[in-house]
C-alpha cells in the first residue's frame, strides 16, 4: 500500500488532489477485506458506530475517512447523543471555574492585606493627629479587625486622656443635638465616642458640632445620579424635590419620577435610595437614622437602568445646573483592574458648562465615588471622572481608619470618610435608608424596620 503511494508521488507535478482517486483505489484495494464490510455485517456486534464513524477497531479506516471533497471538506455534525454530555461537561467546567475564582479571590484578599501590612491607627493627642503604628495582624486579619478593644501596647497615657476627654465632649454634644431617630445613636461615623464597632474613639466625621452651628444643609440641594430613588420613603419624602428630578430611562413609559415603574422597588434598583438616605434623610422624625445634611432638598436623576452612553452622562451632569448645587455620582467604568475610560465629548462639555454656569455662576459641585475595584488591583486614576481636577473624589476607610479592601487608591482622592470594613464585617455598617419604607444597613443588610 505504501509502496503504491510512494510510486504515485514520485511522478512529476503530482499532488495529493490530482491523484486522490488513484490513492483511494490503492488504499481500498489493499485494505478492502478489513475496511469495507458487507452491508449485512454492519449490524453484527463487531461493527459499531463510534461518534459519526463506522469502526471495527481503533486502526480501522472507514468509508467516511476515505471520502474527500476537493472543493471543501465535508462538515460532519456532532453525534445526536452527545447533547446531554456537552451540557454536563459545560456545567462541570463552570462549577470548577467558580470554585477556582472563589479560591483565588480569598487568597488575593489575604495576600494583599499581608503585603500592605495592615496597621491600626494610633491617636496621639486631642488635636486628633494620626500616625501609623506598626502592628502585624498575621493570617487572621479579619478576626483581628473585629476585636473591640485596642491592643494594650497601643494605648498610652496620652491616648487614655484623649479618650476620656472625647467621651465627655461627645456626651455634651449628643445632649445638645438631642436626635430622636432611634438608630442614629449607632452611627459611629457621625460621632464616635467608643462605639463597640470602632475602638478608635474620635474616628468620625465630627458631624454633630456642625449641626449645633446651624449647618444642616438648609437652603441647598443635592441630586443623586443613579438608578431608582424611592420618592415615597418616609425618611426622604419631606426633603424630596420633584423640580430637580427626572427619569431619563424610558420616561414615556415610566413617567418623569426617578422612582421607576414598579410599585415595590426591587433590591437591584435601590442604590439611589441608599445614596439619598446618606445625603439627606430627614432628622428627628423618630424613624431609622438621618443623613449628613438632613435639611437639604433631594433630587434624583434616574439614568443607570438603561444603556449609559456619552449622551446620557452629559444630560445627567448638565440637568438644570442653574438650580442644582451638588451632583452626586457613584458610577464609572468597570472596576476590573484593566478598563480605563474618561469623559467623552458631550460629558466633558457638560462638566465644563456646569462648572462655569452652575449654582448661579458659582459652579456646580460634582462628587464621584473613587470606585470599588480594590480587590482587583484597580486604581481610581483609570477613571477619567474621578481623576478630573474639577471633581471631588471620595474614598472610604474602615473602622480602624485604614483603606477598605474594596477602595481604589490614587492621587485624585480629596476626601476619605469612615464607612466600615468589608461585607464580612457586618457590624461595621452605616445605617441608611432602603426601598419600600425600610431602615437598612449599608452592604444591603437589614437591621430592623424602625417605625
Q: Give 331 or 144, the one with higher predicted confidence.
A: 331
- pLDDT tens-place string over residues 430-444: 444 555 555 544 433
**pLDDT (0 to 100) of residue 399:** 85
Contact 332, 371 (CB under 8 A): yes
**pLDDT (0 to 100) of residue 265:** 84
Residue 232 to residue 240: CA distance in whole angstroms:
9
Model confidence band, residue 165 (pLDDT cutoffs 50, 70, 90): confident
Weakest-pLDDT range from 59-68, 301-310, 353-362: 59-68
**pLDDT (0 to 100) of residue 83:** 57
**pLDDT (0 to 100) of residue 328:** 96
- pLDDT tens-place string over residues 194-237: 877 888 888 899 899 999 999 999 999 999 999 989 999 999 99
Residue 204 to residue 212: CA distance in whole angstroms:
16
Contact 318, 248 (CB under 8 A): no
Q: What is the 3-state secondary structure (H, E, C) of the chain?
A: CHHHHHHHHHCCCCCCCCCHHHHHHHHHHHHHHHHCCCHHHHCCCCCEEECCEEECCCCCCCCHHHCCCCCCCCCCCCCHHHHHHHHHHHHHHHHHHHHHHHHHHHHHHHHHHHHCCCCCEEECCCCCCEEECCCCCCCCHHHHHHCCCCCHHHCCHHHHHHHHHHHHHHHHHHHHHCCCCCCHHHCCCCCCCCCCCCCCCCCCCCHHHHHHCCCCCCCCEEEEEECCCCCCCCCCHHHECHHHCEECCCHHHHCCCCCCCCCCCCHHHCHHHHHHHHHHCCCCCCCCCCCCCCCCEEEEEECCCCCCCHHHHHHHHCCCCCCCCEEEECCCCCCCCCCCECCCHHHHHHHHHHHHHCCCCCCCEEEEECCCCHHHCCCHHHECCCCCCCCEEEEEECCCCCECCCCCCCCCEEEEEECCCCCCCHHHCCEEECCCCCEEEHHHCECCCCC
- C-alpha distances out from residue 449 to 5, 135, 440, 446, Å: 86, 40, 8, 8
- pLDDT tens-place string over residues 225-240: 999 899 999 999 999 9
Backbone angles phi, psi at 92, to 5 degrees: -65, -40
Residue 159 to residue 72: CA distance in whole angstroms:
83
Q: Is the pLDDT of residue 39 over 60?
A: no
Query: Quick one: average pLDDT of 172-185?
Result: 90
Q: Torsion angle, CA of 127/128/134/135, rounded to 10 degrees?
A: 140
**pLDDT (0 to 100) of residue 263:** 80
Q: Is the pLDDT of residue 293 over 80?
A: yes
- Of the candidates 418, 389, 386, 390, the one whose C-alpha atom is nearest the C-alpha of residue 402 is 418
Q: Give 26 or 424, the one with higher predicted confidence.
A: 26
Contact 230, 264 (CB under 8 A): no
Which grid cell is 7?
A: 510510486
Weakest-pLDDT range from 31-45, 105-119, 126-140, 421-435: 126-140
Q: Is the pLDDT of residue 278 over 50?
A: yes
Q: Is the pLDDT of residue 164 over 70?
A: yes
Chain position carrying cell 439619598: 276
pTM of the model: 0.63
- pLDDT tens-place string over residues 71-95: 443 444 444 445 566 666 666 666 6
Query: Quick one: average pLDDT of 271-280?
Result: 93
For the beta carbon of residue 245, count every other beta carbon within 10 angstroms. Answer: 22
**pLDDT (0 to 100) of residue 270:** 86
Query: Which range in 157-166, 315-324, 402-411 is most confidently predicted, on average pLDDT?
Result: 315-324
Q: Give 439 or 143, the one with higher predicted confidence.
A: 439
Amino acid at each position: 500500500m505504501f509502496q503504491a503511494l510512494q510510486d504515485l508521488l514520485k511522478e512529476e507535478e503530482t499532488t495529493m488532489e490530482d491523484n486522490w482517486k488513484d490513492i483511494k483505489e490503492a488504499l481500498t484495494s489493499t485494505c478492502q477485506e478489513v475496511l469495507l464490510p458487507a452491508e449485512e455485517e454492519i449490524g453484527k456486534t463487531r461493527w459499531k458506530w463510534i461518534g459519526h464513524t463506522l469502526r471495527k477497531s481503533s486502526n480501522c479506516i472507514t468509508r467516511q475517512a476515505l471520502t474527500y471533497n476537493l472543493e471543501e471538506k465535508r462538515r460532519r455534525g456532532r453525534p445526536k447523543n452527545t447533547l446531554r454530555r456537552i451540557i454536563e461537561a459545560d456545567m462541570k467546567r463552570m462549577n470548577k471555574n467558580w470554585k477556582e475564582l472563589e479560591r483565588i479571590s480569598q487568597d488575593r484578599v489575604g495576600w494583599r492585606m499581608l503585603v500592605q501590612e495592615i496597621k491600626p491607627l494610633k491617636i496621639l493627642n486631642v488635636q486628633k493627629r494620626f500616625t501609623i503604628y506598626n502592628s502585624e495582624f498575621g493570617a487572621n486579619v479579619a478576626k483581628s479587625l473585629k476585636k473591640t478593644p485596642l491592643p494594650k501596647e497601643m494605648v498610652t497615657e496620652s491616648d487614655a486622656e484623649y479618650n476620656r476627654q472625647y467621651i465627655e465632649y461627645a456626651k455634651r454634644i449628643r445632649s445638645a443635638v438631642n436626635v430622636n431617630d432611634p438608630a442614629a445613636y449607632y452611627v459611629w461615623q457621625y460621632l464616635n465616642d467608643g462605639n463597640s464597632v470602632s475602638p478608635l474613639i474620635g474616628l468620625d466625621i465630627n458631624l454633630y458640632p456642625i449641626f449645633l452651628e446651624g449647618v444642616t444643609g438648609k437652603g441647598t440641594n443635592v441630586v443623586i445620579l443613579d438608578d431608582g430613588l424611592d420618592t415615597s420613603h418616609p425618611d426622604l419624602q419631606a426633603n424630596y424635590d420633584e423640580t430637580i428630578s427626572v427619569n431619563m430611562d424610558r420616561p414615556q413609559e415610566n413617567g418623569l419620577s426617578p422612582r421607576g415603574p414598579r410599585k415595590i422597588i426591587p433590591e437591584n434598583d435601590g442604590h439611589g435610595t441608599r445614596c439619598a438616605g446618606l445625603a439627606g434623610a430627614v432628622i428627628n422624625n423618630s424613624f431609622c437614622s438621618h443623613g449628613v445634611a438632613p435639611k437639604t432638598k433631594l433630587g434624583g436623576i434616574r439614568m443607570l437602568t438603561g444603556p449609559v452612553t456619552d449622551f446620557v452622562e452629559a444630560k445627567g451632569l448638565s440637568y438644570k445646573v442653574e438650580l442644582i448645587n451638588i451632583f452626586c455620582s457613584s458610577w464609572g467604568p468597570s472596576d476590573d483592574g484593566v478598563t480605563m475610560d474618561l469623559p467623552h465629548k458631550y460629558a466633558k462639555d457638560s462638566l465644563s458648562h456646569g462648572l462655569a454656569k452652575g449654582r448661579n455662576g458659582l459652579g456646580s459641585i460634582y462628587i464621584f465615588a473613587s470606585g470599588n475595584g480594590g480587590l482587583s488591583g484597580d486604581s481610581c486614576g483609570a477613571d477619567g471622572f474621578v481623576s478630573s481636577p474639577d471633581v471631588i473624589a471620595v474614598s472610604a476607610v474602615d473602622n480602624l481608619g485604614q483603606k477598605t479592601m474594596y477602595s481604589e487608591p490614587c492621587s485624585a482622592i480629596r476626601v476619605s470618610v469612615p464607612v466600615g470594613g468589608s461585607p464580612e464585617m457586618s457590624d461595621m455598617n452605616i445605617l441608611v435608608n432602603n426601598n419600600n419604607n425600610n431602615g437598612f444597613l449599608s452592604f444591603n443588610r437589614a437591621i430592623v424596620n424602625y417605625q
